Structure 1
Amino acid sequence: MINAYSLNGSMKSLVPTDGLKHVPADIVWLDLVDPTAQEDAYVETLLGISIPTRDDLKDIEPSSRLYVEKDSVFMTASLVWRADGDDPQLTDVAFILTGGLLVTVRYAEPKSFKLFIAALGRGEPTGDGLTMLGRLLETIADRTAEILEHTVDRIDTLSTDIFRDRGKRRPPQFLEGKLAEISETHRLVSKVRDSLGSLSRLLTFLINVPIVHKKETEGSLCRTVAHDVETLSEHASFIAGNIAFLLDASLGLINVEQNAIIKIFSIASVVFLPPTLVASIYGMNFQFMPELNWHLGYPLAILCMMLSAIIPFFFFRWKGWL
């Protein structure tokens, strides 16, 4: 699908059969959403440039993601997609500046694009393609900041659930469930950090493009967004450190709980070992055992077994091991 956005923010769809030989002058943004081969060829004919395919976007070489060709600037960045769900992913998006026009090629629906298009729908002035790109990157940075804010809230909730009411013993299964949530949060933050690194490289490249130097307002906007991305990267690193601490603490608490269980079994074994020894002695079937003829032999053996169990128990209590 090809969506075209004009100077006043209005949208219309372009199809390969609409008979256009060139892009209308009032169009500043062409948004190719999951384009077909026919739509790629149509836009290439209109603009005289090569549109990156899905396989081209997956190329990780800097020379394939950031380059200038025939006065057209080609940039590719990885954006976080489905961050609000259980399976966050990265999707590669191409940004092309050519002849004062912005062209984007994407095969997913990042929320940042929806937010930006909604803002255009309110009739806000857009400017040329470079201005549109700067504002779009600003929206992407704002959306990334929102994801990190939600992640911080999620970490606070996890921390509260794990560390509150420490006087109350909890089964290891509870903490193991929290480990799964910590893992999901860590995966999301990792995706965000990868996305921010990609955006940082894109903005560094864009700021040094000659077309940006000629426009002070757009250049200032790009530099502001680059500073925001750098700040968000530092914040994401701080969040990743908190997640690592939470993970280590959870594993430590699980070990403490498991050690407490093992300690109970160990103490039980030590407490019942002396009575077992007494019972084993008098359970032997030798013919000459003087105690077998005692009238009080049975109650004395029982008393001996009870004392041999009670004395270690109170000794452990006195030592504070129970």
Structure 2
Amino acid sequence: MKKTFATKAEHGFDWIDLSDPTVKEIQEIAQQFSLHEASIKDCLQPDHLPKYEIVDTYTFIIVRVFTQQPISEADTIQELTNKIAIFFTTDYMITVHRTAQPLIEEVKTKAIDAKGCTDTLCVLNRIIRASLLTFEPPSVKLAQSLDYFEENVFLKQRKAPILRGLYYVKRKVDVIRRLLILSYEIIDKIDMPKQRNIYTRDLRDQYIRMQNIYDNLSENTSQLLSAYFSIASHRTNEIMRVLTIFSVFFMPLTFIVGVYGMNFHFMPELDWHLGYPLVMLLMALITFGIYLWFKRKGWL
């Protein structure tokens, strides 16, 4: 669907928005504004990563925004985010996206309807800032998830659900961190010295803040995973320690039972009237001796 948000006669520049465009609409726009076929191809790829590219007489930008209602186990770029392609010059701006993007309408209301922007650079700055802000709510949810998993790891000692949940948290954080890293060039180009102003500086500050948030989430997730495996390893070691202690107690007793269970004919102890109680006493003394030894070593 094609919408015209601004016209050059009224606002000084054209802004055309294409939502889930047809091939015919794309071709008409490409022909009207002399857009390169490579840019059109990138524009139509749903999983394309963020980029900043100067093509002939215009600048081609791809940004990604966090999807409004991702599935709980989403862990890929296409599942977690949506793409907005932007064709940009001082005379016009074209935004292309497959799904409805509320942030486009919000920017249009503030920048065009309220006359908050007088050029395309201002509109572009607002779109990119709004796209960055879409990653803020999920960062809060991911932080809450980490708090929940941390409590379960250290206190409730659950296993499979924790590991599965931590995996998806880590995947989401890593995907968004990757997108933010790839978006750095866009921020850097917009905040160049020749066109730098308070709005571009604010955009860079916003980017740095989001990057720090997800860097911190990534570090916390890695540390929590390491703690989980360390605790799991410690529990395994505790189980092995208990089994080892039991085996040490029973090894000498098993040896004694094995000796007197060989059934040789000439074994004088088998004819003793006190043979059985003496062997039982010997086994009790050995067990008590092993217990005292373990106690002195601090293993019990």
Tell me which interval the TM-score lies in, with the shorter structure as reference length. Answer: 0.7 to 0.9
Give the drift of 1:154. 1.9
Whether 1:4 aligns to 2:3 is yes
Structure 2 distance, partners of 1:307, 1:34, is 85
1:89–1:39 Cα change, 3 Å: farther
Deviation at 1:224, TM superposition (A): 1.2
- On the 8 A contact 1:200/1:230 being kept in 2, the answer is no
Residue 200 of structure 1, CA deviation: 1.9
Pick one of 282, 287, 294 that aligns with 1:316. Answer: 294
Structure 2 vs 1, CA of residues 296 and 125 (structure 1 numbering), >3 Å: closer, same or farther?
farther
Equivalent position to 1:203, from 155, 180, 187:
187
Distance 2:192 2:145 in 1: 38
Q: By how many angstroms is 1:118 displaced? A: 5.2
* SS in structure 2 of the partner of residue 85 of structure 1: coil
Which amino acid letter does the alignment assign opposite residue 47 of structure 1? F
Moved more, 310-319 or 223-232: 310-319
Which residue does 2:19 correspond to in 1?
33
Q: CA RMSD in A?
A: 3.3
Contact 1:23 1:46 in 2 (8 A): no
- Give % identity: 22
Would you say 1:135 and 2:126 are equivalent positions? yes
Alignment CA distance shift 1:153-1:268 (3 Å): same
1:52 equivalent to 2:30? Answer no
Contact kept, 8 Å, 1:83 with 1:89, in 2: the verdict is no
CA distance in 1, matches of 2:185, 2:116: 25
1:203-282 matches, cutoff 5 A: 203-208=187-192, 213=195, 219-282=197-260
Corresponding position of 2:105: 117
Q: Residues 31 and 103 of structure 1 are in contact (CA less than 8 Å); yes or no, is this contact kept in structure 2?
A: yes
Aligned to 1:178: 162
1:154 is aligned with what amino acid? S
Please tell me whether the aligned partners of residues 104 and 127 of structure 2 are also in contact (alpha carbons under 8 angstroms): yes
Q: Contact 1:80–1:191 at 8 Å: present in 2 too?
A: no
C-alpha distance in 1, partners of 2:33/2:10?
12
- Aligned partner of 1:67 in structure 2 is 54
Matches of 1:76 and 1:268, distance apart in 2? 64
- Structure 2: 5+ residue stretches without partners: none
The alpha-carbon distance between structure 1 residues 5 and 84, as it changes in their structure 2 partners (threshold 3 A), is farther
The answer to whether the Cα contact below 8 Å between 2:4 and 2:16 also exists between their aligned partners in 1 is yes
Distance 1:86 1:121, change over 3 A: farther
Q: Equivalent residue of 1:35, what SS?
A: coil
Partner of 1:42: 28
Structure 2 distance, partners of 1:34, 1:306, is 83
**CA distance in 2 between partners of 1:241 and 1:66 (Å):** 32
Deviation, 1:106, is 2.8
Task: Name the CA distance, whole Å, in 1 between partners of 2:213 and 2:192.
Answer: 25
Q: CA offsets per residue over residues 126-181 of structure 1, 9 Å max, x none?
A: 5454333222212112222222222222222222222237xxxx4xxx24432222
Query: Secondary structure in 2 aligned to 1:73?
Result: strand
For structure 1, the 5+ residue unaligned runs are: 8-21
Partner of 1:157: 148
Q: Say whether residues 1:89 and 2:76 are aligned partners.
A: yes
TM-score (norm 1): 0.76
